[in-house]
């Protein structure tokens, strides 16, 4: 969708280095969350139908990032560290302390999407934060926790902002969408060389990344079209009643009926498994050899 090159301060504060790499003079240091906000703003200004944003804790813990999404009316489910402060009209707490008090019945076993080994199932707990008394907001803030089934001590935390009619299952689905994004990055690296750049110029990096992203989008579209076409061309195999017959606890195949008759012959199976009502292959060959030619 979009891309930005993160330049550390060691670059932006070295004017000679920036000049050699053809970095624009107007380019100043920006944190990764600041770059993310710029890309999200561009996406929101486009014609793309954007309803949700999800990201890891590096962006989720950034207050300005969450505030920008809330002001735009865009829902989000963002990972945060366990030390994240949660503020509401009822008070302020660490997010892990909020969810420590969750009763056992508050944890629901939900799949957050399919993975390489099947559904990604975890135990989830979610609670809606209180709002100002008397208000009727169109969106609510939530806190979520994801607990591993195999290692219950491993718990991940999320802050969410969602429409009033959003369900816990929907929030879980959005949280799980981040795995698909990671898989997309990995596929672009493996198939299109997204990370295989060796450039010396600022513009060269953007050209490489843009071309790799375009190639990956093209491959994804072609794959989707091929799958759709294959599904449309698939013809369901005709079903016929089985000719197998069961007798005395074992299955047998009936002998095909002779031409002109409508019933199959019943044959007996000898010790060698041969049909006693048919001529042997040797007899058939001998008869054919005696037939006159011409």
Does residue 21 form part of some domain?
A: yes
Q: For position 243, what pLDDT does the model report?
A: 64
The residue with tokens 């929030």 is 171
Does residue 261 form part of some domain?
A: no
Q: For position 240, what pLDDT does the model report?
A: 62
Asked if residues 265 and 257 have their Cβ atoms less than 8 Å apart, the reply is yes
Q: For position 275, what pLDDT does the model report?
A: 47
The residue with tokens 């750049």 is 197
Tokens of 231: 């599904």
3-state secondary structure 235-267: CCCCCCCCCCEEECCEEECCECCCCCCCCCECC
Mean pLDDT by 10 residues, the chain (294 residues): 91 93 93 94 92 94 94 95 90 90 91 85 93 77 94 95 94 90 85 87 92 91 87 62 69 69 54 47 43 44
Q: For position 262, what pLDDT does the model report?
A: 59
Does residue 241 form part of some domain?
A: no
Local structure of residue 125 (DSSP, 8 states): E
The 10 Å Cβ neighbour count of residue 160 is: 28
Does residue 281 form part of some domain?
A: no
Q: For position 65, what pLDDT does the model report?
A: 95
What length does the chain have?
A: 294
pTM given for the model: 0.71
Does residue 194 form part of some domain?
A: yes
Work out how many domains the chain is built from and give that number: 1
Is 94 buried (19+), middle (13-18) or exposed (0-12) by CB count in 10 A?
A: middle
Which residues constitute the domain of residue 196?
A: 9-218
Q: For position 274, what pLDDT does the model report?
A: 46
CA distance 60 to 45: 21
Does residue 30 form part of some domain?
A: yes
Q: For position 185, what pLDDT does the model report?
A: 83
Does residue 89 form part of some domain?
A: yes
Does residue 242 form part of some domain?
A: no
């Amino acid at each position: 969708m979009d891309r930005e090159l993160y330049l550390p301060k060691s670059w932006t504060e070295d004017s000679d280095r920036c000049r050699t790499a053809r970095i624009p003079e107007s380019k100043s240091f920006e944190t990764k969350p600041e770059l993310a906000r710029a890309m999200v703003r561009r996406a929101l200004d486009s014609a793309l139908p954007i309803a949700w944003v999800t990201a890891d804790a590096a962006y989720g813990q950034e207050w300005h990032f969450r505030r920008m999404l809330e002001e735009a009316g865009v829902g989000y489910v963002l990972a945060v560290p366990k030390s994240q402060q949660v503020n509401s009209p009822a008070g302020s707490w660490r997010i892990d302390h909020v969810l420590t008090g969750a009763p056992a019945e508050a944890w629901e076993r939900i799949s957050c999407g399919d993975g390489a080994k099947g559904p990604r199932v975890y135990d989830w707990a979610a609670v809606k934060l209180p709002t100002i008394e008397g208000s009727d907001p169109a969106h609510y803030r939530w806190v979520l926790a994801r607990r591993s089934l195999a290692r219950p001590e491993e718990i991940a935390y999320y802050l969410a902002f969602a429409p009033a009619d959003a369900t816990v299952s929907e929030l879980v689905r959005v949280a799980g969408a981040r795995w698909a994004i990671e898989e997309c990055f990995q596929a672009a690296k493996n198939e299109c060389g997204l990370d295989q750049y060796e450039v010396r110029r600022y513009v060269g990096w953007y050209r490489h990344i843009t071309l790799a992203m375009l190639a990956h989008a093209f491959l994804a579209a072609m794959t989707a079209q091929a799958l759709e076409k294959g599904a449309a061309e698939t013809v369901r195999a005709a079903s016929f009643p089985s000719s197998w017959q069961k007798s005395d606890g074992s299955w047998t195949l009936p002998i095909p009926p002779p031409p002109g008759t409508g019933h199959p012959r019943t044959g007996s199976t000898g010790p060698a498994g041969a049909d006693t009502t048919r001529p042997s292959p040797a007899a058939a060959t001998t008869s054919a050899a005696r037939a006159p030619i011409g």
